[in-house]
Amino acid sequence: MDLHSEKLAKLRDKLELQVEKLQKSKSTFRRLSSNLKERFGIIESTNVALEKSRVRQLENHYSDTIGNHYLVYIELTSERLYKQALVMKQICNLFPLSKVTVEGNNKYGSGGQYDQICNAILPQGLNPLSVPPKELAASLGYMVQLLNLVVHKLAVPALHNFGFGGSCSRIWQRDSYWNSHPSSPSDEYPLFVPSHDYFSIEGKSSWTGRDTTNFGVTSLKSDGSVEEDYHDLDVVNLSSASPQSVETFRNVQRGIAHIKQNVAHLTVYGYSSLSMEVPSGALTFETFAKLLNTLSSIKEVQSALSLGFSNSNKQRHEPNKSVWNLNSSSSSTMLNSSHIQPTSWNNKSYYNVPNRDPSSIDEWNLVEYPHFSHQALKFNFPNKY
């Protein structure tokens, strides 16, 4: 009995000792937990302060960096526009585009307003017989050279090629930027001018002489031996002409239409790059001449860009369809003729994509509309302006 009581007393003392240790451990745990919470609070507040300081320093650093780069960009843009204007002014001096009034009717066409380049009258609509053959040869040749220069100097994306075979200039459209050859022979349209016997009713045509030096056409290198009595429009009747003459006449029409499409493409791209809307109610060559005059004037370019910056938040307008007008009623008549069906240069035009998502990259849609900041920018052009 005494032994049992002694064991119980020892166990009771041991239990009290363990309870006391447990209480001390709990007290130590609460103290350490409180210290940890306090330290975590200090660390958290320090992290918040460091993050704010880091963000502030980054904002200041990148703001200064962006500002410096932006100033460099403005300076380079100003210099580029200045040099571009000088080049465009020289190009405009080399190939001046203007309007000329022809009074009365003549054997080549009716009187009225004509476009001319380098004093050579351009055809009305798609009618190659609306101007004398030498005028047509010179004007189309000058226009091809002008487009070559403008496309190169403005770095305009173009899905067309210009080439010269002998004294006959050719123009064709390719399927992509990576293929320099026409997609098919039907996509190649020669921009030639027929000789005096080209549309002869008897069917005699010098076009069959492919081995000749001028391929049966009058070009800029003509020796002037072509007879001056070119056939009158009233005399020339395509229905009674030879099939070969009719086919070649249609090729001339397609060539003129294609070169006008290229002019329209370049015009739309040029105005879009300046954040300007294509002037409404103007004809193809007339609108192109206005664009060249704008690009050759520093003040007009600066004004256009400043206006585009201030209006950048407005909804983008679709290209004005008036620029696609091919110049006269005769154009639509010839294009709608059963002899001329819509060709690839019309269907594959990367500007003729209405109601399309501007971010779409499924096809060639390279008309870019630059997005500028809402703040109006002022270009500081050199004093030499």
Among the listed residues 119, 121, 142, 141, the one whose alpha carbon sits nearest the alpha carbon of residue 131 = 121
CA angle 289, 334, 252 (to 5 degrees): 70
Among the listed residues 329, 133, 342, 313, the one whose alpha carbon sits nearest the alpha carbon of residue 225 = 133
Token pair for residue 107? 């054997």
DSSP state of 324: G
In contact, 237 and 129? CB cutoff 8 Å: no
Q: Which residues contact 154 (CB under 8 A, 6 or more apart)?
A: 84, 266, 270, 273, 295
- The tens digit of pLDDT for each residue in 22-37 reads 999 999 999 999 999 9
325 vs 258, more confident: 258
> Does pLDDT of 298 surpass 90?
no
Token pair for residue 322? 């008036």
34 vs 61, more confident: 34
Question: Largest Cα–Cα distance in the chain?
Answer: 154
CA angle 49, 52, 56 (to 5 degrees): 140
Proportion of the chain above pLDDT 70, given as a percent: 56
The full length of the chain comes to 385
Among the listed residues 377, 252, 254, the one whose alpha carbon sits nearest the alpha carbon of residue 308 = 377
In contact, 234 and 242? CB cutoff 8 Å: no
How far is Cα 281 from Cα 32, in angstroms, rounded to an integer? Answer: 85
DSSP state of 14: H
Token pair for residue 94? 């080399």
pLDDT bracket for residue 38 (50, 70, 90): very high
- CA atoms in the 13 A half-sphere facing the CB of 126: 25
How would you classify residue 134: left for phi > 0, otherwise alpha for psi between -120 and 50, otherwise beta?
alpha
Q: What is the pLDDT of residue 28?
A: 93
Phi, psi of 307 (to 5 degrees): -65, -40
Q: What is the pLDDT of residue 235?
A: 37
- The tens digit of pLDDT for each residue in 341-367 reads 333 333 333 333 333 333 333 333 333
| Burial class of residue 115 in the structure, from the number of CB atoms within 10 Å of its CB (0-12 exposed, 13-18 middle, 19+ buried) | buried
How far is Cα 155 from Cα 194, in angstroms, rounded to an integer? Answer: 33
For residue 375, what are the CA distances in angstroms to 307, 311, 312, 340? 11, 10, 9, 50
How far is Cα 115 from Cα 121, in angstroms, rounded to an integer? Answer: 6
How far is Cα 14 from Cα 8, in angstroms, rounded to an integer? Answer: 10
| Burial class of residue 313 in the structure, from the number of CB atoms within 10 Å of its CB (0-12 exposed, 13-18 middle, 19+ buried) | exposed
Whether the pTM exceeds 0.85: the reply is no
- The tens digit of pLDDT for each residue in 107-149 reads 556 677 889 999 889 988 888 888 887 888 888 888 888 988 8
How far is Cα 284 from Cα 322, in angstroms, rounded to an integer? Answer: 8
Q: What is the arithmetic mean of pLDDT over 312-320?
A: 45
pLDDT bracket for residue 159 (50, 70, 90): low
